[in-house]
Amino acid sequence: GDEGRTAGAAPLATDPAPPPLPEVDPGVWVVEQGDSFWSIAEQVVGAEDAASADERATRRYWRRLVEANRAGLVDPGNPDLLLPGQRLVLPAPDT
C-alpha cells in the first residue's frame, strides 16, 4: 500500500523547480495557438500607442516582423505558418 505512494511522490520531491519562463524579454514573442504575424503586429503596435494603431502602422510593422523572422520560419515562403511555442524576434516598433 504505502510503497506505491512513496515511489510516486519521490520524483516530485527530487525534481528541482522549473526555471521561470523568460517572458520578461520584450523583444521575444512565444507563439500561441491562433497567433499570426498580423495579430502579433496589431498587439505590439496597439500596446505602443493605441492612437497610432491604424491599419497602415500595423501593416508597416507586420512587414518588419516577417522579415526579422523569415530565416527562422518553418517555411520561409509562408509567413502564415506559425507553430505554438515558436519564438519570434520583435523589432522595436516605430516611434
- Model confidence, pTM: 0.67
Report the run of H or E that residue 89 belongs to, with start and end. strand 87-89
The answer to whether 16 and 76 have CB atoms below 8 angstroms apart is no
How many other C-beta atoms are found inside a 10 Å radius of the C-beta of residue 38?
A: 16
**Mean pLDDT, the chain, whole residue set:** 81
Written as one string, the DSSP assignment of 24-61 is T-TTEEE--TT--HHHHHHHHHHHH-GGG-SHHHHHHH
> Residue holding cell 497610432?
52
Distance CA 39, CA 18 (A): 30
Residue range 40-62, pLDDT digits in tens: 999 999 886 666 668 999 999 99
Distance CA 90, CA 58 (A): 13
pLDDT for residue 54:
87
The answer to whether 61 and 41 have CB atoms below 8 angstroms apart is yes
pLDDT for residue 23:
47
Cell reading at 74: 518553418
- Range from 1-10, 12-21, 48-57, 63-72 carrying the lowest mean pLDDT: 1-10
- Range from 1-10, 27-36, 38-47, 73-82 carrying the lowest mean pLDDT: 1-10
- Of the pLDDT bands very low, low, confident and very high (cuts 50, 70, 90), residue 13 is low
